[in-house]
């Protein structure tokens, strides 16, 4: 979950990804309780580009029904909430196509996000776990925390990304460097943009669904699985058909868990691929052509197509003809999934795209020298763990020494026959399995360390939160006030007190008194500005910190809160208790020695409000 301290500070910086222009106006307009579709349509039509995208999206949803040609028709189909979310998503995309973080590939990020959104939407069309059009935007923005870190800390985040770490390791690096991570920032932004709470709950666990706390029958559990699967398939889309073919058994198994048989999954892949390319053109986001599902299935051995576990290895074979065809046929007959290459360029591309477990390379291939290729492979982050074998024609000592000095794990002499080759591959398979098992154990240890770090972080956050009201507590208030005090610009604070709270406790008991505290905290949150920080200072007393508030704005804010408290009495069954508040306001000035005097001035003004009759606002002199 997000840290209120960090997110409020980051938001105050103004550097977080956010909607702009018409999308921002639309976002603010839809917060009004009485807004109509006609008003929304008037705002949308002010942006021809957004209008065109909404109409295209509405037609995309209708898929063959009557063509939608106007904004009113599109809004009637999409509804107010979906229109706001779609506008927000497209606006964030348009405003963040490039940036200063050199290690962050902005367009690749949006290409993968778009593919993930399309796949998630299509899965929801069948499963109905969430509204498909809402799921499209939720999935599109489900990785926005990474974009936020790239925007906020371009140089530092580029260093982390250049290390090639992923999963819990990357999360831990982000936390240690920025006191937050991309998942927490995603949750915070989805909440701040008021997307469905379901999305925020799911976003935190989307990269590791096995750790999520939701029951298997819950919507959260199902949507988390959908987002995880959609993200993995989107990454495969970017890598290409060869990568998808290699991962087909896992994909088919996961698709089956989501309710898709092989035929349905094939149809989904083909539809999603076509839609990805179409939406890529509409949104000016890169995509790539993918082979049909049939073609990708035909590229792998027959036993792999059932979705069962692959008994062999994922092998990249680099050789000359006719040895290439002969060796490929033999390896496939042994149950291995084989990719082939005959040039260095093609081989390197397949190493990067398909991530093979084993590379078999002849000593000499046209335009490629085996030992030199192995050396280049070892320089790649993804090539360090590949089991690399050089294939020699003759049993030559010098060739074998050269192979091992270049970084090869083995050197197999082809003249010894296919039986010898099969035996050496058994040894390679045992080594690969042990290395992957070791990697899995390390990952589990990292998960334990990550869980411990998260638990420590939660404990720290709990120490700054009042358990009754859910607001930040006095300790947080003082730390935040110290931070705001040292920032330039206008600053105001308010001391607020529930009038005659002791009488409420005496008449109705402390249980009801506690409920009144929670009710009061809820009203304060609703009536305050987004950038204001509301804290429980102690008992029935609260402190509000108002950044960038001049005297007039501070007084208006205080009066709005006072009126809101008076307008919403506490109701619990048959119990109805009028609630009012007295408020003291202080404005920072150069004559104050420090923020203690600042808070004291607001406290004195609060006392004056109570002395004057309560349910009043008083400004410190």
- Residue 30 phi, psi dihedral angles, 5° rounding: -70, -10
Pairing of strands 364-365, 358-362: unpaired
Pick from 468, 569, 579: nearest CA to 518: 468
Give the H or E element holding residue 85: helix 71-95
* 3-state percent helix, strand, coil for the chain, nearest multiple of 5: 60, 10, 25
Pick from 587, 597, 499: nearest CA to 551: 587
Please give the Cα distance from 128 to 333 (Å, whole number): 42
Dump strand ranges (E) for 223-346: 314-318, 337-341
- Close Cβ partners of 14 (under 8 Å, ≥ 6 residues apart): none
133, 207, 344, 540: which is the annotated catalytic residue?
540
Pick from 565, 539, 547: nearest CA to 617: 565
Three-state SS for 356?
coil
Pick from 144, 86, 135, 134: nearest CA to 112: 144
Pull the structure tokens for residue 323.
């040895």
- Residue 548 phi, psi dihedral angles, 5° rounding: 55, 35
How many other β-carbons are positioned within 10 Å of the β-carbon of residue 427? Answer: 12
Q: How deeply is 62 buried, as exposed, middle or buried, from its count of CB atoms within 10 A (0-12, 13-18, 19+)?
A: middle
Alpha carbon distances (Å) from 610 to 413, 492, 495, 606, 617: 94, 20, 12, 6, 9
Q: How deeply is 195 buried, as exposed, middle or buried, from its count of CB atoms within 10 A (0-12, 13-18, 19+)?
A: buried
Give the H or E element holding residue 364: strand 364-365
Judge whether 540 counts as a catalytic residue.
yes
Three-state SS for 526?
helix
Question: Can you tell me which residue has the tokens 């988390």?
Answer: 224
410 within 8 A of 424, measured Cβ to Cβ: yes
Q: How far is CA 377 from the centre of its chain?
A: 32
214 within 8 A of 220, measured Cβ to Cβ: yes
561 within 8 A of 582, measured Cβ to Cβ: no
Three-state SS for 541?
strand
**Residues pairing with 472 in the sheet:** 465
Three-state SS for 64?
coil
Q: Where are the alpha helices (DSSP H) in 96-181?
A: 106-127, 132-140, 144-152, 154-162, 167-178
Question: Can you tell me which residue has the tokens 């932004």?
Answer: 189
Give the residue numbers marked as catalytic. Answer: 540
């Amino acid at each position: 979950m997000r840290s209120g301290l960090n997110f409020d500070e980051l938001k105050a910086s103004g550097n977080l990804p956010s909607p702009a222009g018409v999308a921002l106006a639309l976002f603010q307009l839809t917060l009004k309780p009485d807004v109509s579709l006609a008003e929304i349509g008037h705002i949308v039509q002010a942006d021809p580009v957004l209008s065109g995208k909404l109409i295209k999206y509405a037609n995309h949803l209708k898929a063959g029904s009557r063509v939608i040609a106007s904004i009113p028709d599109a809004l009637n189909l999409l509804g107010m909430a979906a229109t706001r979310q779609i506008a927000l998503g497209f606006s964030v995309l348009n405003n963040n196509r490039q940036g200063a973080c050199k290690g962050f590939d902005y367009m690749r990020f949006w290409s993968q996000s778009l593919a993930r959104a399309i796949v998630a939407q299509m899965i929801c069309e069948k499963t109905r776990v969430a509204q498909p059009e809402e799921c499209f935007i939720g999935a599109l923005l489900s990785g926005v925390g990474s974009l936020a870190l790239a925007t906020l800390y371009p140089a530092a985040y580029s260093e982390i990304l250049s290390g090639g770490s992923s999963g819990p390791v990357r999360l831990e690096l982000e936390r240690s460097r920025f006191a937050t991570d991309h998942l927490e920032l995603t949750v915070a932004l989805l909440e701040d943009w008021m997307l469905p709470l379901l999305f925020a709950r799911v976003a935190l666990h989307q990269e590791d669904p096995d750790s999520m706390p939701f029951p298997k029958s819950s919507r959260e559990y199902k949507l988390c699985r959908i987002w995880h699967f959609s993200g993995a398939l989107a990454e495969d889309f970017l890598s290409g058909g060869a990568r998808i073919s290699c991962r087909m058994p896992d994909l088919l198994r996961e698709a089956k868990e989501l309710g898709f048989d092989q035929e349905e999954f094939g149809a989904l892949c083909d539809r999603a691929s076509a839609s990805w390319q179409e939406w890529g053109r509409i949104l000016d986001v890169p995509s790539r052509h993918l082979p049909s599902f049939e073609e990708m299935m035909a590229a792998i051995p027959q036993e792999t197509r059932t979705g069962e576990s692959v008994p062999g290895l994922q092998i990249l074979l680099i050789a000359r003809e006719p040895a290439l065809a002969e060796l490929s046929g033999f390896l496939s007959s042994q149950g291995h999934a084989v990719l082939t290459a005959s040039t260095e360029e093609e081989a390197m591309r397949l190493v990067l795209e398909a991530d093979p477990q084993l590379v078999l390379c002849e000593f000499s291939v046209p335009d490629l020298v085996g030992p030199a290729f192995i050396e280049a492979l070892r320089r790649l982050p993804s090539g360090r763990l590949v089991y690399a074998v050089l294939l020699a024609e003759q049993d030559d000592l010098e060739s074998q020494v050269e192979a091992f000095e270049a970084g090869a794990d083995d050197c197999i002499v082809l003249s010894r026959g296919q039986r010898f080759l099969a035996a050496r591959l058994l040894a390679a398979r045992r080594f690969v399995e042990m290395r992957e098992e070791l990697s899995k154990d390390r990952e589990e240890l990292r998960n334990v360390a990550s869980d411990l770090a998260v638990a420590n972080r939660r404990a720290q956050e709990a120490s700054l939160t009042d358990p009754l009201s859910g607001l930040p507590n006095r300790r947080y208030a003082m730390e935040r006030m110290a931070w705001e005090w040292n920032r330039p610009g206008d600053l105001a604070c308010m001391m607020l007190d529930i009038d005659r709270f002791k009488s409420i406790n005496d008449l109705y008991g402390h249980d009801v008194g506690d409920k009144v505290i929670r009710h009061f905290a809820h009203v304060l949150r609703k009536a305050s500005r987004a950038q204001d920080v509301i804290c429980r200072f102690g008992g029935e007393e609260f402190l509000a910190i108002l950044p960038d508030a001049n005297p007039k704005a501070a007084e208006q804010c205080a009066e709005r809160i006072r009126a809101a408290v008076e307008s919403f009495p506490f109701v619990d069954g048959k119990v109805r208790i009028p609630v009012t508040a007295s408020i003291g306001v202080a404005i920072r000035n150069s004559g104050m020695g420090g923020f203690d005097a600042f808070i004291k001035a607001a406290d004195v003004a609060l006392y004056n409000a109570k002395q004057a009759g309560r349910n009043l606002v008083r400004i410190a002199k």
